[in-house]
């Protein structure tokens, strides 16, 4: 499902027009981004948790050349499904 199909489906289920639904989704994504900028985790009950994790500096090896390279530390975003959603997916 692409963005346009998702917005159409969401707007019909909410009884809103597509333009208002798109604005609502843009606002939601903007607010998520602000939370990540402030290094806050975001928990959506019944859906999951978006977490920012600090990845440590590490050494990797290029398998084709055999050269070792240093990967600098960085922040990465991870998502963990809620148990409720996991069970819904397993049940089909």
What strand order describes the sheet that includes 42-44?
42-44, 48-55, 74-81
CA distance 59 to 86: 34
Confidence tier at 92 by pLDDT (50, 70, 90): confident
Give pLDDT, residue 72. Answer: 96
Give pLDDT, residue 38. Answer: 87
| Tens digits of residue pLDDT in 22-58 | 999 999 999 999 988 888 899 999 999 999 999 999 9
| Tens digits of residue pLDDT in 68-85 | 999 999 989 999 999 999
Confidence tier at 87 by pLDDT (50, 70, 90): very high
What is the average per-residue pLDDT within 16-20?
93
Report the helix count and the strand count for the chain, using DSSP H and E. Answer: 3, 5
What pTM value is reported for the model? 0.70
The residue extents of the domains of the chain are 1-40
Give pLDDT, residue 39. Answer: 85
HSE-up of 50 (CA within 13 Å, CB side)? 14
**What spatial distance separates the first Cα and last Cα of the chain, rounded to whole Å?**
18
């Amino acid at each position: 499902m692409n963005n346009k199909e998702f917005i159409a489906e969401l707007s019909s289920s909410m009884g809103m027009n597509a333009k208002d639904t798109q604005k609502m989704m843009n606002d939601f994504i903007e607010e998520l981004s602000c939370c990540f900028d402030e290094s806050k985790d975001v928990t959506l009950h019944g859906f999951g948790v978006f977490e920012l994790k600090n990845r440590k500096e590490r050494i990797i090896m290029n398998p084709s050349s055999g050269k070792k390279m240093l990967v600098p530390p960085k922040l990465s975003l991870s998502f963990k499904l809620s148990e409720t959603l996991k069970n819904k997916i397993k049940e089909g």
